[in-house]
């Protein structure tokens, strides 16, 4: 399950980066086609380094570590993921127990048939 999730995460990350790079290339192509720099056409991403501080903007929005920390705290406060995780764990344990009992019953049935032969 972990390998599958890692593969999915990797694929989604590669595709997202591909889309952002494609948008950046399209923006540069539009600027070359117009022949001048139009400030209304923003790039897909832009990274600046001023006075040792790195600032990044994705699709015109500035991304800072403070924003990411705030979103992480918000996710920890909600704890909605833990609710679904616990429900999934209980459901998985129940299904595993059910199939274990079914397999034991089938094994006992086959064993009793073989004893009769």
3 occurs within a structural domain: no
Query: Which range of residues forms the domain containing residue 91?
Result: 79-117
| 3-state SS, residue 2 | helix
Q: What pLDDT, on a 0 to 100 scale, did the predictor assign at position 59? A: 64
66 lies in a domain? no
pLDDT at 7 over 90: yes
Show the tokens assigned to 71. 């979103």
Q: Note whether residue 47 is domain-resident.
A: no
Q: Does a structural domain hold residue 108?
A: yes
* Residue 96 located in a structural domain: yes
What is the reported pLDDT for 106?
93
Domain count, the chain: 1
Contacts of residue 81, Cβ cutoff 8 Å, sequence gap at least 6: 75
Per-residue pLDDT at 53 exceeds 70: no
Q: Mean pLDDT across the stretch 21-37?
A: 78
pTM: 0.35
């Amino acid at each position: 399950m972990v390998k599958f999730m890692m593969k999915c995460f990797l694929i989604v990350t590669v595709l997202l980066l591909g889309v952002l790079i494609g948008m950046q290339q399209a923006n540069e192509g539009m600027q070359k086609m117009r022949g001048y720099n139009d400030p209304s056409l923003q790039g897909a991403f832009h990274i600046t380094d001023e006075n040792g501080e790195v600032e990044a903007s994705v699709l015109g929005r500035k991304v800072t570590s403070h924003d990411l920390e705030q979103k992480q705290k918000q996710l920890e406060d909600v704890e909605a993921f833990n609710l679904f995780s616990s429900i999934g764990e209980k459901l998985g344990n129940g299904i595993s127990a059910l199939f274990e009992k079914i397999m034991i019953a089938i094994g006992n049935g086959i064993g009793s048939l073989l004893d009769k032969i």
